[in-house]
């Protein structure tokens, strides 16, 4: 079986990171990896903070955060006035959910490709308010047109207070046609939250082109920012309704500052985040995207081959820039959350490879990412050793 050629490596890219060289880090998507230059920039900011904490927090910090926010929003093609910094995508989703003032009879609609922690947040908000959570099943093989139709017929105007769709799904590494989904929801008057946790740095689509009411994205995954750096972008008609999870001193400053200012937190990650974009730009944004997507596709094919999965049965991501790919595991393997965690740990311990394993709709999947620090032989090694490990049960 012919496997596609892996991409040319980006010379020296691995040296930009402080990753343990004895491990194959094939799961950039879960927690990212922070380049050394970004770590250093954050450390310099921490040094400044510790040299005089009073001065750091009370003289100009709100403006420095606003400056970083404008930088990040511009990169994402988002309106800086409609963008607020938050700690992570999960927090951004929770901010939106609790700002909706849900009531009994209201419903929140998601798909069955949604992120687990966001689903738990929906469940809690529904439990608190008497609203209900309805999940739309979307087959893994659905075409974009079918996905849009499932959503169009799955909304109940007047009752559906929010639709949450993922731009790139976590358990299934599937790109959803979010702009088209937003358009059909808008026809029915249903607001949409796009969970774009993986989009910043990976996907070329701008936030404005998606056109959602709410859009959350993590900079700490594919945009090389320090962890704890995410944005929530809000359409003009919603901005005044958005409330922070915790009220603090900037409450009367309105959106976006009242969401951002959360008292004595460590804001150095946000201030250093533009250095992540600088690193990405120095490597070449398009070059990094093309490299990562091609390497993930290569990894999917070699590991799929090793597990006997025919190329036509390997799930397609739905777009060229996607740097995460799925390989179906043999039936019965890693179908539950516990089993998936156990297998991921076993692969990490025995094969020195970090991967993502998720059970989705009764089937276990291995998810592989491609990043500039990865090389084809890391996927080759996993492919050689994984079948034996799975056979050992
Ligand atoms: C689709 C999606 N939403 C939300 C999240 C949560 O991100 P965080 O843990 O940074 O809140 C993830 C993380 O991988 C994700 O894939």
What is the pLDDT at residue 114? 98
Closest C-alpha residue for ligand 1 atom 7: 89
* Closest atom of ligand 1 relative to the 166 alpha carbon: 1
Token duo for residue 7:
């991409």
The pLDDT tens digits of the residues spanning 189-219 come to 999 999 999 999 999 999 999 999 999 999 9
Assess whether pLDDT exceeds 90 at residue 21.
yes
Nearest protein CA to atom 16 of ligand 1, as residue: 170
- Pocket of ligand 1, candidates 33, 86, 87, 90: which has the most ligand atoms within 8 Å of its Cβ, to mutate? 90
Q: Residues 6 or more apart from 21 whose CB is under 8 A from it?
A: none
The residue whose CB lies within 8 Å of the most ligand 1 atoms, and thus the one to mutate among 88, 270, 358, is 88
Q: Which two tokens stand for residue 211?
A: 């056109």
| Nearest ligand 1 atom, CA 114 | 1
Among residues 57, 58, 36, the alpha carbon closest in space to that of 46 is found at: 57
Quote the CA–CA distance of 184 and 148 in Å, as a whole number. 7
Tell which atom from ligand 1 comes closest to the C-alpha of 90: 11
The 10s digit of each residue's pLDDT in 66-105 is 999 999 999 999 999 999 999 999 999 999 999 999 999 9
In this structure, the residue with its CA closest to atom 10 of ligand 1 is 88
Question: How far is residue 200's CA from residue 83's CA, in Å, rounded to a whole number?
Answer: 14
Confidence of residue 345 (pLDDT cuts 50, 70, 90): very high
What is the 348 CA–ligand 1 centroid distance (Å)?
21
Atom of ligand 1 nearest to the CA of 227: 10
Residue 3: predicted pLDDT: 74
CA of 194 to the centre of ligand 1 (A): 12
Can you tell me the distance from the alpha carbon of 56 to that of 42, in angstroms, rounded to the nearest whole number?
A: 14
Cβ 92 vs Cβ 232: under 8 Å: yes
Q: Return the ligand 1 atom nearest residue 167 CA.
A: 1
Q: How far is 244 from 129, CA to CA, in rounded Å? A: 18
Task: Copy the structure tokens of residue 351.
Answer: 């094969």
Instruction: Give me ligand 1 centre to Cα 380, in Å.
Output: 28
C-beta separation of 11 from 197 below 8 A: no
Q: Which atom of ligand 1 is nearest to the CA of 220?
A: 10
- pLDDT tens string 101-138: 999 999 999 999 999 999 999 999 999 999 999 999 99
pLDDT tens track for 287-322: 999 999 999 999 999 999 999 999 999 999 988 899
Residue where the block lists tokens 């500052």:
257
User: What is the predicted pLDDT for the residue at 4?
Assistant: 80
Q: What is the pTM of this model?
A: 0.97
Do residues 52 and 42 touch, judged by C-beta distance below 8 A? no
Within 6 A (CB) of ligand 1 lie 30, 88-90, 115, 117-118, 166, 170, 195, 197-198, 218
Quickly list H helices, the chain.
28-31, 36-51, 53-58, 61-76, 89-99, 116-129, 144-154, 178-187, 207-210, 257-260, 268-283, 285-306, 337-351, 376-391
CA of 358 to the centre of ligand 1 (A): 14
- Best substitution site from 117, 171, 174, 317 to test ligand 1's pocket, by max atoms within 8 Å of Cβ? 117
Euclidean distance between CA atoms 7 and 11, whole angstroms: 12
**How many CB atoms neighbour CB 309 within 10 A?**
18
* Alpha carbon of 168 to ligand 1 centroid (Å): 10
pLDDT of 54 reads 98
Q: Please give the distance, rounded to the nearest whole angstrom, from the Cα atom of residue 56 to the centre of ligand 1.
A: 30
Tokens of 85: 């910094």
pLDDT at 248 over 90: yes
Ligand 1, atom 14, lies closest to the CA of: 30
Q: How far is the CA of 219 from the centre of ligand 1 (A)?
A: 11
The pLDDT of residue 92 = 98
CB 255, CB 84: distance < 8 Å: yes
Mutation probe of ligand 1 site: the residue of 114, 169, 197 with most atoms within 8 A of C-beta: 197
Residue 1 confidence (pLDDT): 55
Distance in angstroms (rounded) separating the CA atoms of residues 228 and 153 = 36
Q: Would you say residue 393 has pLDDT above 90? A: no
**What's the mean pLDDT when you consider all of the chain?**
97
Which pLDDT score, from 0 to 100, does residue 152 have? Answer: 98
Q: Determine what percent of the chain is predicted with pLDDT higher than 70.
A: 99
CA of 166 to the centre of ligand 1 (A): 10
- pLDDT-derived band at 373, boundaries 50, 70, 90: very high
Pairing of strands 83-86, 356-360: unpaired
Work out the average pLDDT over 134-148: 97
Check: CB of residue 79 under 8 Å from CB of residue 206: no
């Amino acid at each position: 079986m012919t496997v596609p050629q892996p991409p040319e490596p980006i010379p020296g890219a691995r040296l930009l990171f402080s990753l343990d060289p004895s491990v194959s880090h094939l799961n950039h998507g879960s927690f990212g990896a922070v380049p050394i230059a970004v770590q250093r920039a954050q450390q310099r900011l921490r040094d400044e903070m510790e040299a005089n904490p009073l001065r750091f927090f009370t003289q100009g910090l709100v403006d420095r955060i606003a400056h970083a926010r404008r930088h990040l929003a511009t990169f994402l093609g988002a309106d800086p006035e409609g963008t607020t910094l938050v700690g992570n995508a999960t927090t951004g989703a929770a901010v939106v959910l609790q700002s909706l003032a849900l009531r009994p009879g209201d419903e929140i609609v998601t798909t069955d490709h949604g992120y687990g922690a966001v689903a738990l947040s929906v469940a809690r908000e529904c439990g608190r308010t008497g609203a209900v959570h309805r999940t739309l099943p979307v087959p893994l093989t659905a075409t974009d047109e079918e996905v849009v139709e499932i959503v169009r017929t799955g909304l109940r105007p007047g009752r559906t207070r929010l639709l949450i769709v993922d731009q790139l799904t976590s358990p299934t590494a599937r790109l959803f046609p979010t702009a088209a989904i937003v358009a059909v929801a808008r026809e029915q008057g249903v607001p949409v939250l796009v969970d774009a946790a993986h989009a910043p740095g990976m996907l070329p689509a701008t936030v404005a082109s998606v056109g959602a009411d709410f859009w959350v994205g993590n900079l700490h995954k594919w945009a090389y920012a320090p962890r704890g750096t995410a944005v929530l972008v809000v359409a003009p008609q919603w901005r005044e309704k958005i409330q922070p999870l915790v009220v603090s001193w900037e409450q009367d400053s309105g959106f976006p500052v009242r969401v951002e200012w959360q008292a004595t937190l460590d804001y150095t990650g946000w201030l250093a985040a533009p250095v992540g974009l600088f690193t990405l730009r120095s490597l070449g944004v398009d070059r990094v995207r093309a490299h990562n997507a091609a390497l993930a596709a290569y990894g999917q094919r070699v590991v799929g081959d090793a597990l006997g999965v025919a190329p036509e049965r390997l799930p397609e991501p739905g777009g060229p820039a996607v740097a995460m790919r799925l390989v179906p595991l043999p039936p019965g393997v890693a179908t539950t959350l516990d089993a998936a965690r156990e297998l991921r740990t076993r692969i990490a311990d025995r094969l020195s490879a970090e991967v993502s394993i998720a059970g989705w709709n009764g089937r276990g999947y291995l998810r592989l990412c491609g990043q500039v620090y990865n090389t084809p032989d890391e996927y080759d090694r996993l492919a050689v050793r994984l079948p034996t490990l799975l056979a050992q049960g």
